[in-house]
A = this chain, B = another copy of it.
Amino acid sequence: VGRTLARSGAPLRIGELATRTGTTPRTIRYYEEIGLLPGGDHERGKHRVYSDRDIERLRELTRLRDHLGLTLAELRALVEAEDARAALRERWHRTHDPVERRAIAREALRHLAVQLDLVRSRKAALAELERGFVAKRRQVQRILRELEAEAQV
């Protein structure tokens, strides 16, 4: 096994993390500043170092930001809820009490329902936009066909 480019699991620097997530180093530092991302585990003045888990985390954040239009304050609230759920998963693994486990699972379902509602209402709005464009297009196409039929004669 020789050298491999982009070896999975290898630590990343901020530039790599940025290109892999479609953002910029500035954005990453800003998110760290406002508490949306961990500090890449660095001392002041030294280079930040990230892991594969950070790639996933940042990708998730940018997706929610771009596709659901969440503000960074909303994202931060969401991340805090996420951390709370991570703590729940911890408890899940430590307990074997089925009553507690059911409560944890139901909590997870409620959270997923909220996310799904957001995604679906945005999708519905986009679908409406799409319908409008398609209707206009159909109308123009009909007119164009008529003009071309006329030209045939």
Give the contacting residue for A126; candidates B106, B113, B119, B137; CB below 8 A.
Answer: B119
Judge if A1 is at the interface, Cβ distance under 8 Å: no
Which residues of A from 73 to 128 have beta carbons under 8 Å from B? 98, 101-102, 105-106, 108-109, 112-113, 115-116, 119-120, 122-123, 125-127
Judge if A20 is at the interface, Cβ distance under 8 Å: no
Shortest Cβ gap from A20 to chain B (Å): 18
* A interface secondary structure, majority: helix
List 6 other contacts, CB 8 Å, given A108-B140, A119-B130, A126-B126.
Answer: A69-B69, A105-B140, A109-B140, A109-B141, A112-B133, A115-B133
